[in-house]
Amino acid sequence: MSIGPEDFRLDGKVAIVTGANTGIGQAIAVALAGSGAKVAAVGRSPMNETAAMIGDGAMIEIRADLSTTADHGRIVEETVAWGGGVDILVNNAGVIRRRDAIDFTEEDWDVVIDTNLKSAFFLSQATARRMIPNGGGKIVNIASLLSFQGGIRIASYTASKSGLAGLTRLLSCEWAGKGVNVNAIAPGYVVTNNTQALRDDPDRSQAILDRIPAGRWATPDDIAGAAMFLSSRAADYVHGSVLPVDGGWLAR
């Protein structure tokens, strides 16, 4: 069977996207909806802007605290009740704390690990329990360049994103044979709230830009294209990948 444009469409699919109120999560939610999916947008803050961009009927807003596992079952159940099932999960929600490693606190460690890694695992588990009996689905984790590199002043973020890359491979090994594709995207430096501190530092911002072969920071839409592919039938034989979308940063 040859691959055609229809294999990149998501008509009739139901997706959960976490952290969909702004930035990368918002861009992914809008892109998936534009490709035909119905989107359950999950987060702690209002997602009115995302809803306006998607339009009536194609999105439900689910308020939840993704720093704990308490809401995971409810997220899946509300999505299934609304959309009739769940076919795609995008684990995008994440936080970052910046501090020299010598001064890093346990609180800064725990809040990042709990949101970026622990929550992603247990929401994947809750979603896969629905996907597997129904023939499978797609899980896309938003990792980072820090899944490959160390970085500076972001100990818990680097640990969480390195762990997420490993978790992506582990879940792929366990669930590929059950019809669930688990992959990750490793964004480069993207214009989002999480990178505001870097962009506000002229020297640091310029040093980053000088290293990017593409000559610019990414926009959230740059990441959304990869998410659309990994969520589609065109990626049915892609398992356990961590796809850099970094303007050539890692190739340098």
Residues taking part in catalysis: 157
Alpha helices by DSSP H, listed for the chain, are 23-34, 48-54, 72-83, 106-113, 119-131, 155-175, 196-199, 202-211, 220-231
Instruction: State how far the Cα of 57 lies from the Cα of 29, in Å rounded to an integer.
Output: 14
SS3 label, residue 49: helix
Counting Cβ atoms within 10 Å, is residue 59 exposed (0-12), middle (13-18) or buried (19+)?
buried
DSSP codes joined into one string, 16-42 = EEESTTSHHHHHHHHHHHHTT-EEEEE
DSSP single-letter state for residue 135: T
The CB density around residue 25, as the number of other CB atoms within 10 Å, is 29
Other C-beta atoms closer than 10 Å to the C-beta of 218 total: 21
Reduce the DSSP state of residue 139 to 3 states and report it. Answer: strand
**Bridge partner list, 41:** 17, 61
